[in-house]
Structure 1
Amino acid sequence: MGINFKDARVTVMGLGRFGGGLGVTRWLLAQGAKVILTDLATEDALAAQITDLGTHANLECVFGEHREEDFVHADVVIANPAVPMPWKNMYLQSAWRAGVTVTTEIEILTNQLNRKKVIGVTGSSGKSTTASMIYAGLQSACVPCLLGGNIGGSLLTQLSSINSETIVVLELSSAMLWWLEKNGGWSPSVAVLTTIEPNHLDWHGSFDEYKSCKELLFKHQSEDDTSLTQDAEASFEGLLLIGKHNERNAAVAFLAAISAGADAKRVRKGIQEFRGLPHRLQYVCDGFYNDSKSTTPTATKLAVDAFDDADKVHLIVGGYDKKIGLELLAKQSERVACMYAIGATAPALVEQCLREVIQCASLEEAVIRAMKNMKEGDVLLLSPGCASWDQFANYEARGELFCELVTAAKTNQQVH
């Protein structure tokens, strides 16, 4: 879908908190488009992003609401992939009925990339870490590369730095893949699928729909492309990261990087030296780990699996209800020293767990109660297995608060 954005009337649906809306808005303005940026969040809630964006003669901002006229009178609408069930969204429906082109930031980007130089990564868990491991391996092998997509930010503003040798690593969500397929379909030359388990059913409506969207990553590949899936039995020695699941991530990341032509020895070294991402089994201090990015029960199980003695783990779980089964998450209560449940899913977890679970009104309460119960050698792990949106703006805010609470509590212990 080639679009000339010069003088085009473009509505950007969602500034967002992760940089995609910000990046595409800047890029559109640089192309000469006349942009209306609209977001349901208030100006106060988006203060930091608005300050970062600044002002422009061709930019109009609408916060706290969407206006139908901004969607039906536009030449192009840039949809936010995070909007659930877009086929039911009244504003997008209005745009489609009016014959307006509706696209996404990721489609604009992929249209301008040589797909033969793209590695795409998707999966229910591990996709951010795997994409980052690929990137670390390529960097170690001195391969020009960029990392973008669902992991945050927009690569549109970096297009000028991409040349014929650059490898682009994209983390792709199921929603991004749905949008790419709706407008004709696209697949990278090297496609990596980590895992598939029930997730984002609030967006897709059913597990079958979610699964089919994940598998779209491979649909438009050709015979000379590379398709990789995670091996459940894979191992990878020498990692700084803990957990068998990270060995599986590393193994498929290694294969992806060498499939793109990188030197195997250097790739291995880069992956081994990778220190991990914030909020993914992040070491806070001795005995305390922040795994706030865990938004599925499977991710929480993998986090618990990473510790040799699960019965020494005090586990904080719960959060926003994505309408997925919580049985696996509840089952972790039988393995750990104690489970603490927070958020909207807490009552359901308390009901489903066979062992006693301590229901807490907040993350603050959970940390306090857990630290009182911990014995020498025990571990406190925040690995919610649920999204954060019931109590926090995002999983980063949840993880940052956990780190702050732990640091403050440890400092207070030292003082006394």
Structure 2
Amino acid sequence: MHQLCDKRVVVMGLGRFGGGVGVTRYLVGEGADVLVTDTASEEQLRQSINELDDLSIDIRLGSHVTKDFTDADLVVINPAVDPQQNPYLQAAGDAGVAMTSEIRLLVDRLPERLRTIGVTGSAGKSTVTAMIGHILALPQQYEPAPRVHVGGNLGGSLLTDLDQIDACDWVVLELSSFMLQGLSEDQWSPHIAVITNIWPNHLDRHGTFEDYVQAKQAIVKYQSEDDCAVLRQQDINHFSSQLGHRLESEGVVLLGEPCDSSAGGPFASLCGHQRINAMIASNAASRAGVRDDQIQQGISTFIGLPHRLHRVGIFGGIEFYNDSKATTPQSAIAAMESFSKQCLHVILGGYDKGVELKHLASCASSHCQSVYTVGATGPAIARLCEQQDGGAKVFCCGTLDRAVDQAIANANSGDIVLLSPGCASWDQFENYENRGSAFITAVRRSCCGDP
């Protein structure tokens, strides 16, 4: 465990949305001498800076300085920064400076690993993380509900809540591939590992699908015989070498496909990929000792997260859905397949993460009435759609506003307009939340005359 009192700690990356705020506050509280450094400007980081106004820290904005890193006792790295490609971190490493991350500091200080649940995957991990936390936090029949702390990639840092986390509390963490790369250095895996799915993603960072999978494998790699893994049968080949003989034990839960909604059951009211998320979360909660009736109550009362197949409303007889969080082709395909064919108008495209887009275009062409493409990948997706035999009309719109206007002009009463980009947002928006909000604004402007 890194000792922090009176140490010179550099936080690399404050983040425009406060990603470094929690860890900075924690470090100061532990007595560290903190420097926050970020290449963004003061104007871009104003909101995050305001949250640190009451702290005595140094802040360097607009650029990094090598000496800050080589003179530090410890560097805390933002997960979005690739240590292998960053010259400042390479200089720190050459100088023998220790490096860590917010999530590594957290798990090193949690009071009980046997009360941790980690969730990873290429899509659905935020929803499954939140769903598990919701189920665990429900009041139980004969005893009070345990306290549950949900964090990791999903939201703010839990470091500032450490003094409120007891050994009997549950800690549920969404873990990205970037986070897991760091945790692998600490040889840490959660007590209950949950894997939603594995598809090609973040190849712009990892380089190959094999390297991406290797990062994900850390979630089970350091588990013991007494730990548990919950994953789908379709993904077992990616984790079989890490799970080894445990595959034959009760500690590994392999899931097939959930029953179709026509068959009834606890997931009957949910659409395709929502049923899959509920199935995964239910099995993880069961492994945590939650009763079946409590799990069913949790599934039925879970509201969901914003920008994840969220129903915006019906305007002029047209139904609108915001699925801006669909940043991979597979998640967009799952969203499209949740709706009936031929009444669907889909908006696709965004930042190019280097993943294959042919299957996305094929599904859109065969499953949708019209396809509207935006962003950096828009032209490529449009060309791929036009090469398919599905029959969908294709419009290369460039911007989200134009795509919304075009979709509304073409849609009829009873049709559905779906934003499910299948790509990240960074080419035109700061994040997927901004993109989703822009979609809602464009819909209301076009349909209701809102400014």
Question: Could you state the TM-score of these two structures normalised by the residue count of structure 1?
Answer: 0.95
SS at match of 1:292: coil
Is the contact between residue 4 and residue 32 of structure 2 (CA under 8 Å) also seen in structure 1?
A: yes
AA aligned to 2:98 is T
**Alignment-derived partner of residue 251 in structure 1:** 279
Matches within 5 A, 1:103-182: 103-113=100-110, 114-140=112-138, 141=140, 142-182=145-185
CA distance in structure 2 between the aligned counterparts of 1:264 and 1:156, rounded to whole angstroms: 32
AA aligned to 1:200 is H
Matches within 5 A, 1:179-328: 179-182=182-185, 184-230=186-232, 231-235=255-259, 237-238=265-266, 242-286=270-314, 287-307=319-339, 309-328=340-359
Equivalent pairs counted in the alignment come to: 409
Q: Taking structure 1 as reference, are residues 161 and 405 closer, same or farther at Cα in structure 2, changes over 3 Å only?
A: same
CA distance in structure 2 between the aligned counterparts of 1:72 and 1:199, rounded to whole angstroms: 33
SS at match of 2:282: helix
CA distance in structure 2 between the aligned counterparts of 1:43 and 1:272, rounded to whole angstroms: 44
1:40-96 deviation per Cα after TM superposition (whole angstroms, max 9, x unaligned): 111111111111222422x11111111111111100000111113x21211111111
CA distance in structure 1 between the aligned counterparts of 2:295 and 2:64, rounded to whole angstroms: 46
CA distance in structure 2 between the aligned counterparts of 1:38 and 1:132, rounded to whole angstroms: 31
1:376 to 406, 413, 433: 413
CA distance in structure 2 between the aligned counterparts of 1:4 and 1:411, rounded to whole angstroms: 57
Is 44-53 or 213-222 further displaced after alignment? 44-53
1:128-181 deviation per Cα after TM superposition (whole angstroms, max 9, x unaligned): 011111011111242210100000210000111111220000000000000111
CA distance in structure 1 between the aligned counterparts of 2:296 and 2:68, rounded to whole angstroms: 50
Is the contact between residue 186 and residue 220 of structure 1 (CA under 8 Å) also seen in structure 2?
A: yes
CA distance in structure 2 between the aligned counterparts of 1:242 and 1:185, rounded to whole angstroms: 37
CA distance in structure 2 between the aligned counterparts of 1:121 and 1:247, rounded to whole angstroms: 17
Is the contact between residue 16 and residue 44 of structure 2 (CA under 8 Å) also seen in structure 1?
A: no
AA aligned to 2:128 is T
SS at match of 1:152: coil
CA distance in structure 1 between the aligned counterparts of 2:40 and 2:115, rounded to whole angstroms: 36
Is the contact between residue 10 and residue 36 of structure 1 (CA under 8 Å) also seen in structure 2?
A: yes
Confirm whether residue 412 of structure 1 aligns to residue 449 of structure 2: yes
**Alignment-derived partner of residue 351 in structure 1:** 383
**Alignment-derived partner of residue 393 in structure 1:** 430
Is the contact between residue 17 and residue 48 of structure 2 (CA under 8 Å) also seen in structure 1?
A: no
AA aligned to 1:234 is P
**Alignment-derived partner of residue 240 in structure 2:** none
Q: Taking structure 1 as reference, are residues 351 and 288 closer, same or farther at Cα in structure 2, changes over 3 Å only?
A: same
Is the contact between residue 326 and residue 349 of structure 1 (CA under 8 Å) also seen in structure 2?
A: yes
Is 325-334 or 128-137 further displaced after alignment? 325-334
AA aligned to 1:173 is S
SS at match of 2:22: helix
SS at match of 2:311: strand
Runs of 5+ unmatched residues, structure 2:
233-254
Q: CA RMSD in A?
A: 1.6
SS at match of 1:284: strand
In the TM superposition, residue 257 of structure 1 has moved relative to its aligned partner by 1.2
Runs of 5+ unmatched residues, structure 1:
none
Is the contact between residue 241 and residue 275 of structure 1 (CA under 8 Å) also seen in structure 2?
A: no
CA distance in structure 2 between the aligned counterparts of 1:241 and 1:10, rounded to whole angstroms: 50
AA aligned to 2:399 is S
Is 233-242 or 122-131 further displaced after alignment? 233-242
CA distance in structure 1 between the aligned counterparts of 2:295 and 2:160, rounded to whole angstroms: 27
CA distance in structure 2 between the aligned counterparts of 1:51 and 1:240, rounded to whole angstroms: 46
Is 105-114 or 254-263 further displaced after alignment? 254-263
Is the contact between residue 143 and residue 262 of structure 1 (CA under 8 Å) also seen in structure 2?
A: no
AA aligned to 2:29 is A
Is the contact between residue 311 and residue 321 of structure 2 (CA under 8 Å) also seen in structure 1?
A: yes
Matches within 5 A, 1:30-109: 30-57=29-56, 59-84=57-82, 86-109=83-106
**Alignment-derived partner of residue 237 in structure 2:** none
1:99-119 deviation per Cα after TM superposition (whole angstroms, max 9, x unaligned): 000000000000011210100
User: Quick one: percent identity of the two aligned structures?
Assistant: 46
In the TM superposition, residue 242 of structure 1 has moved relative to its aligned partner by 4.1
In the TM superposition, residue 239 of structure 1 has moved relative to its aligned partner by 5.1
AA aligned to 1:248 is I
Is the contact between residue 240 and residue 275 of structure 1 (CA under 8 Å) also seen in structure 2?
A: no
Is the contact between residue 17 and residue 47 of structure 2 (CA under 8 Å) also seen in structure 1?
A: no
**Alignment-derived partner of residue 25 in structure 2:** 26
Question: Could you state the TM-score of these two structures normalised by the residue count of structure 2?
Answer: 0.88
Is the contact between residue 243 and residue 303 of structure 1 (CA under 8 Å) also seen in structure 2?
A: no
AA aligned to 1:75 is D
**Alignment-derived partner of residue 243 in structure 2:** none
AA aligned to 1:28 is L
1:176-204 deviation per Cα after TM superposition (whole angstroms, max 9, x unaligned): 0001113x321000000010000000111
